[in-house]
Structure 1
Amino acid sequence: MNRKPIFAANWKMNKGPSETEDFAKGFLPNVEHKTFPCDIVIAPPFVSLAKASEMFGNVSSVALAVQNCSQFDAGAYTGEISGLMLKEFFVHYVILGHSERRAIYGETDEFINAKVLKARELNLRPIFCIGETLEEREGGKLEEVLRRQVSVGLAGLEEKGLGDTVIAYEPVWAIGTGVTASAAQAQEAHAFVRSLIAEQFGADAAAKVRIQYGGSVKPGNAAELMACPDIDGALIGGAALEPSSFLGIIENGTA
């Protein structure tokens, strides 16, 4: 199955509007008017969406994402932002279930599932994050954790909705630590996730769904990771904060 890789920059709580403009000025000359064999996605903080939309809105090779959204359309939900609001910024993707949202803010699989279903209802494309902690991996619970996260997090999703969803496998112990899962470890986990999708949605859907790797991806390890048959791109944190580094990952990962 020829799946188009997707490389997404998750800036987390970094880069206000002025820094977003600076990044765009450094990144755009390398991507506008060019065709890439992959999808390129940038997820700035909410406060920088307007500037990102202004800078990237007319660039066909770059799509915008947000790092979270509410499962509600509107109402008395102080501090929340709805998908309906986000669509005004020409957002295409939304990161849901990131390990930091799970660990720091206590988001459960059921809570994330409600957000996934709302995103698809609004025709936003989820980047649905899953992954185990070091304690869970060392305790032999890798498959148990991934099975729960996939089965509950994607419950109620139609096959078409799955086709517009990207799964991001991110071993929590490798996020922002400088430690990367070996290519063999990453491939093994990705293959298992694909088998879970086959159980839940069928073999054809599993063959089509894109599964990213997230966890200290850098220009130096991108090629080895992306060469794995079940890895379809990367969800990148710190290494995507600089234009040259993010571009290096994209170029090395698609070479």
Structure 2
Amino acid sequence: MRKKVVAGNWKCNTTVQEGVELAKAVNELVATEGAKDVVVVLGTPFTHITKVVETVDNSRIGVAAQNCAAEAKGAFTGEVSAAMVKSTGAGYVILGHSERREYYGETSEILNKKVALTLENGLTPIYCCGEPLEIREAGTQKEFVINQLKETVFKLSADDFKKVIVAYEPIWAIGTGKTATTEQAQEMHKDLRDAMAAQYGQEVADEISILYGGSCNPKNANELFANPDVDGGLIGGASLKADDFLAIINAY
């Protein structure tokens, strides 16, 4: 049975001190009120990871980096390798977010390197995919998003692919206040699972958690998570408020 997952993506927000306080608040709420069958992950800035790992109950809350380098080590000033991420105690890495693709020119070739290094270091990739508004308006979103997977994680062996969490984020809904309708979310998640089944077989496809991201909040999470192929959320702004984040964790 595939896992329910709610992962927060703090993006470029909070100082270390603010992040630790937020992690403390989330940790307390999850311990006392959080749904026991939901995997909770906090995606923090690199500067925060070690402190947040030390702050939370690691048996209940995982910690993710929001990125990692495409190289294992070497003369790459400013980069943080997957091995470095692993050494902090983090267990996950968010990869392929649309902001990384758009602002920092991340290509499928680069992401293939990052996915491989993440897996080699025993980390779980939370792999993002999604279409911009013009693709949605053209009605070609299914082909566009499945191709993002074909160029990257579908190159993995079945055993490695089963270690990946996929996050579908329609780019037009990230930080805009717009959210895909429940029908749009379920349709794309079903298309992605069908593509996984075609690539690896239905048994593998049924094991993969597919998260929805894009203006998911306490008001719409319950409706989104009720869809049979939506297994949780990759949460941006709402993950910066402990009460809102808890409400999403408990939205199943």
* CA shift for structure 1 position 79: 1.2
Structure 2 residue runs of 5 or longer lacking an equivalent are none
TM-score where L is the length of structure 2? 0.96
Letter in 2 for 1:83: A
SS in 2 for 1:179: coil
SS in 2 for 1:220: coil
Residue number in structure 1 paired with 2:125:
126
SS in 1 for 2:155: coil
Distance 2:201 2:246 in 1: 35
- 1:1-255 equivalent positions in 2, closer than 5 A: 2-32=1-31, 36-56=36-56, 58-252=57-251, 254=252
Distance 2:126 2:115 in 1: 9
After superposition, give the CA deviation of every residue in 1:120-149 in whole Å (9 maximum; x if it has no partner).
111110000000001011112212211210
SS in 1 for 2:228: coil
Cα RMSD between the aligned structures? 1.3
* Runs of 4+ displaced beyond 4 Å: none
Distance 1:51 1:9 in 2: 16
Moved more, 18-27 or 73-82: 18-27
User: How many residues end up aligned between the 2 structures?
Assistant: 251
- On the 8 A contact 2:68/2:80 being kept in 1, the answer is yes
- On the 8 A contact 1:32/1:59 being kept in 2, the answer is no
Letter in 1 for 2:210: I
Distance 2:196 2:181 in 1: 23
- On the 8 A contact 1:150/1:196 being kept in 2, the answer is no
- On the 8 A contact 1:129/1:168 being kept in 2, the answer is yes
Distance 1:120 1:214 in 2: 23
After superposition, give the CA deviation of every residue in 1:13-64 in whole Å (9 maximum; x if it has no partner).
00121001211232222123776111000011011112112212x4311000
